[in-house]
Amino acid sequence: MIIFLYGPDSYRSRQKLEEVLAHYNKTHKSGLNLRFFDCEEKNVVINDLKDKIQQTSIFKEKKLTIIANLFTKASLKEEFQKEIKTFLDSEDIIVIYEKENIKKGDKLLKVLNKNAKSQEFKLLEGQNLRNWVKKEVEKQNGAIDPNALGLLINYIGDDLWRMANEIQKLVNFKRNKIITAADIKLLVKNKIETDIFKTIDAIAQKNKKQALNLLYQHLENGDSPLYLLSMIGYQFRNLLTIKELMEKNKPYGLIIQKSGLHPFVVKKSYYQAGQFTFSELKKIYQKIFQVDFDVKTGKIEQEMALDLLVAGM
């Protein structure tokens, strides 16, 4: 029997995998018939998988074989598909766990969806995401008001790995009290701030198209152009501060001390600063300052200013 777990929401698919493992361990106490293959990390060949499936157990219990990231190895995936009947006919449990996206036209995907117990984990959105967050808060013995719930989703989006961590932090902070919007603003880092790093990376790599696409996504979601501009300015100001200390050959520990920035900010910005010259950063920061001035004095429309700023970097 094959259980096939896949989809872009790796948090929920991982939870399902852990449910299968917990159920198996509860039923089969020896633990000697559990096998795990990560095709991404090990040089797994098809005979390794077949041998474990066909191996006779000294215990009268089913074997559980977990095969992770099979779709990342094209040759192994092709061989697996040729031998699919062997795996489908097995009386033991085989879990194929795939955390990456799979193309819809993939042949093995079609075979598994037709013949295995398949479950696809799509990214949650809308009311489904709200329901999941509310249940997760309640599962951790917490409570959250509707406004705070909406703000939390706006800050984090559909990243359930981060969402689960933030919920745990908020529940522990409130200690049986209702989580409010003020708590979200105090404790949760806005997703925009995280994504700005990606935009800066794209600018550093001279990939203006990607940088603009990232900004357009925020604008389409209703994010303020002025706020985005301020975040870009804030990050380049940090890069300029760090780069100046790097130019003076200051060690990393002293850069944290002298910059006055949070160690987390320095850690994420240090590599980015190395991708620019000090002269480039000064010119970019001067452009940001000028664009900010032009917007605030009404010389240029906000979205146009952002567009021209990134295009001119």
pLDDT in tens, the chain (313 residues): 899 999 988 889 999 999 998 888 888 766 677 888 888 776 888 888 888 777 665 556 788 889 988 998 888 999 999 999 989 988 889 999 998 778 888 999 999 999 999 999 998 989 999 999 999 999 999 999 999 999 899 888 888 888 998 899 999 998 889 999 999 988 887 666 666 777 777 777 778 888 888 888 777 766 678 777 877 888 888 899 999 999 999 888 888 888 887 776 788 788 888 888 999 899 888 888 888 888 877 788 888 888 888 877 7
The pLDDT of residue 97 = 94
Residue holding tokens 């977990």?
A: 66
Q: According to the model, what pLDDT value does residue 104 have?
A: 83
Architecture of domain 2-120: 3-Layer(aba) Sandwich (3.40)
Q: Provide the residue ranges of all domains of the chain, joining segments of one domain with +.
A: 2-120, 126-187, 191-311
Contacts of residue 102, Cβ cutoff 8 Å, sequence gap at least 6: 6, 71, 109
Reported CATH class of domain 126-187 = mainly alpha
206 torsion bin: left (phi>0), alpha (psi -120 to 50), beta (else): left
Q: Read off the amino acid at residue 76.
A: L
Task: Return d(Cα 289, Cα 105) in angstroms, integer.
Answer: 49
- Considering only CA atoms, which of 60, 54, 64 is closest in space to residue 20? 64
Q: What is the pLDDT of residue 171?
A: 93
Q: How far is CA 182 from CA 164, 188, 197, 249, in A?
A: 19, 10, 25, 41
For 243, counting Cβ atoms within 10 Å of its Cβ (0-12 exposed, 13-18 middle, 19+ buried), the class is buried
The CA radius of gyration of the chain, in Å to the nearest whole number, is: 25
pLDDT given at position 2: 93
pLDDT for position 60 = 67
Q: Tell me which residue of 237, 153, 164 sits closest to 196, measured CA to CA.
A: 237
pLDDT of residue 267: 80
pLDDT number for residue 19: 92
For the entire predicted model, the pTM comes to 0.60
In 84-122, which positions are buried (b, 16+ CB within 10 angstroms) versus exposed (e)? beebeebebbbbbbbbeeeeeeeebbebbeeebebeebe
Q: In the CATH scheme, what is the code of domain 191-311? A: 1.20.272.10
Look at residue 191 in the predicted model and tell me its pLDDT: 65
Terminal CA-to-CA distance of the chain, rounded, Å? Answer: 55
Q: What is each CA distance from 190 to 69, 107, 212, 239, in whole angstroms?
A: 31, 40, 20, 20
Torsion angles phi and psi, residue 246, rounded to 5: -65, -40
pLDDT for the residue numbered 162? 82
What pLDDT does residue 299 have?
83
